[in-house]
Amino acid sequence: MSTDDSPLAAPSTSPDSRTPLPTGLSKDARRRVLWGSFIGNFVEWFDYAVYGYLASTIAAAFFPDSDKRTALLATFAVFAISFFVRPLGGFVWGHIGDRIGRRTALSISILIMSGATFCIALIPSYSLIGMGAPIILLVIRVIQGFSAAGEYAGASAFLVEYAPAHRRGMYAAVVPASTAAGLLLGSLLAAVLSVVLNAQQMAEWGWRLPFLLAAPMGLIGRYIRTKLEDTPVFRELALEDKVDHAPVKDMFTRHWASLVLAVGAVLLNAVGFYVILSYMPTYLSTELGFSATESFAATTIALVTYIGFIFLTGLASDRFGRKRVLITASVLFTLLTVPAFMLLDVGNFGVILLVEIFLGGMLTLNDGTLPSFLAELFPTRIRYSGFAVSFNLANALFGGTAPFVATLLIGALHTKLAPAWYLVAAALISLAAVLCAKETSRKPLAQ
């Protein structure tokens, strides 16, 4: 790959877009854009990974009087409730991003999010303050959900608006790669802690250690973002006084069809991401009887391959188009998810690892394409709002609830394949939405 075709090495002008890209973007500037877009999502998903991977330990700390499944359901319920505020956050951060600037929204949100994540490590356990412990946990998770609502959408819009038209998919793939990297670090830390600490140490203080890392990472991300300029297309709108003063209103009145299609397209990503990459270690250990170390190890190795697949998917979407890649993902999930979950019950670590890599590879076809697809689906004036609201609405209803629903369905239907059928249903809905959408790649970004 040449220097000019790398994700953040923009040429001086875009051959088929209406607005110029920055001239002479230096290597240092490209690096700041990359890390500024990367680190916020990294911190966000690191937190979600740690919370998901250590769910059983956290359940014992905050819900000790419940039986094991009820405590786990309560822990996942807190995880899900924090997502319900995300659509509200999408409206707020989308308005700030479209009205004031992408950089402003991203700089503020990362500070709130990392601070809230850090505070989880400081919450006293149930044994010390009783019901106050889970209540404080819930409040902090709500704050996290609100602040995180603008991260994925803002970073995706930021990169797409910096990218040349023929490389927008590759640029935007940095965002899901950052989420996978956050999950990877969370998985690694969980695996290391499960080996180094005994059960009592993990329950008393070990689970708190990963959350303490959020503060320094957030401060680094904040510093990087304050050194960035806003995107060329947004700066041009501001200079021409064409910034939308009511982006949310225009989104609902003039672009509601795109909003509906976007929510449908996100559905597979919302369910698949949390079931395959966050809930899977809990599923393997709780439902299939694998050790915590084996569960974390399989997920960690699968995440390494996932990050590589993400960038290949970004390249594929630039070459073959967003629709074709997204349709392929939905079809594969519809046909192969249930057989893949059946193989998990074989009980062999090597088979489980291959299945996780396979499921992750299928998910990257959706995850690596979705950021550029959603950003291109909305015009520049409401891009942040349209992306943030659709993405967070789908994740609030179906993503954050996925571990809870999967656990609930297994108990209600008495089948370990319940999460697989849930994924199939999500894939069918996403397939219908993508089929109704127009191809967005290589076309000029609408003003």
Tell me, what's the pLDDT at 236?
A: 86
At residue 65, the pLDDT reads: 66
Predicted confidence at residue 27, as pLDDT, reads 66
Q: Is 24 left (phi over 0), alpha (psi -120 to 50) or beta?
A: left
Residue 62 has a pLDDT of 79
Q: What is the mean pLDDT of residues 226-240?
A: 83
Is the confidence at residue 311, as pLDDT, over 60?
yes
Closest C-alpha to 260, from 268, 251, 269: 251
CATH code, domain carrying 357: 1.20.1250.20
Mean pLDDT in residue range 352-361: 89
pLDDT of residue 92: 93
Q: What average pLDDT does this structure show over 4-17?
A: 40
What the block records as the tokens of 147 is: 């602040």
pLDDT band with cut points at 50, 70 and 90 for residue 361: very high
Indicate the average pLDDT of the chain: 83
Q: Quickly list DSSP for 289-315.
A: ---HHHHHHHHHHHHHHHHHHHHHHHH
Residue 4 resides in a domain:
no
- What is the share, in percent, of the chain residues with pLDDT greater than 70? 91
Instruction: Answer yes or no: is pLDDT of 4 > 50.
Output: no
This prediction has a pTM of 0.81
Structure tokens at 20: 């110029």
Supply 392's token pair: 């967070």
Q: What is the DSSP letter of 19?
A: S
The total of other beta-carbon atoms located within 10 Å of residue 287's CB is 16
d(CA 391, CA 373): 12
Please report whether residue 12 resides in a domain.
no
Q: Tell me how far apart the alpha carbons of residues 447 and 268 are, in angstroms, rounded to a whole number.
A: 28
Q: Is 215 exposed, middle or buried (0-12, 13-18, 19+ CB in 10 A)?
A: middle
Residue 31, pLDDT > 90, answer no
Q: Is residue 283 part of a domain?
A: yes
3-state secondary structure of 231: coil
Distance between CA atoms of residues 60 and 253, nearest Å: 47
Question: Higher model confidence: residue 17 or residue 224?
Answer: 224
Tens digit of each residue's pLDDT (9 = 90 or more) over 131-164: 888 888 888 888 888 888 888 899 999 888 888 8
Number of structural domains in the chain: 1
Which residues have CB under 8 Å from 447's CB, separation 6+? 18, 233, 237, 242, 379, 380, 381
CA dihedral 183, 326, 2, 231 (to 10 degrees): -80
442 in Cβ contact with 166 (< 8 Å): yes
Confirm whether 330 is domain-assigned: yes
Residue 347 has pLDDT above 80, yes or no: no
The pLDDT of residue 17: 38
Task: Give the Cα separation of 149 and 396 in Å (integer).
Answer: 10
- 367: containing domain: 26-436
Average of per-residue pLDDT across 321-325: 95
Q: Is residue 18 part of a domain?
A: no
Task: Indicate the residue type of 331.
Answer: V
415, amino acid identity: T
CB-based burial label for 175 (10 Å; 0-12, 13-18, 19+):
buried
Q: Does position 10 have pLDDT exceeding 80, yes or no?
A: no
Short-list 102, 374, 386, 42, CA closest to 234? 102
pLDDT of residue 13: 37
Q: Is residue 9 part of a domain?
A: no
* Residue 7: inside a domain: no
> What are the pLDDT digits (tens) for 87-119?
899 999 999 999 998 888 988 888 888 888 888
Q: Stretch 18-41: mean pLDDT, rounded?
A: 65
Of the spans 38-42, 53-57, 60-64, 309-313, which averages the highest pLDDT? 309-313
Residue 227 domain-assigned (yes or no): yes
Work out the angle at residue 432's Cα, subtended by the Cα atoms of residues 430 and 436, and round it to the nearest 5 degrees. Answer: 115
Model pLDDT for residues 256-285, shown as the tens digit of each residue = 999 999 999 999 999 998 888 777 777 777
* Residue keyed to tokens 């038209």: 165
- In the structure encoding, which two tokens stand for residue 353, read together? 């690892």
Which range (18-22, 365-369, 376-380) has the least confidence? Answer: 18-22
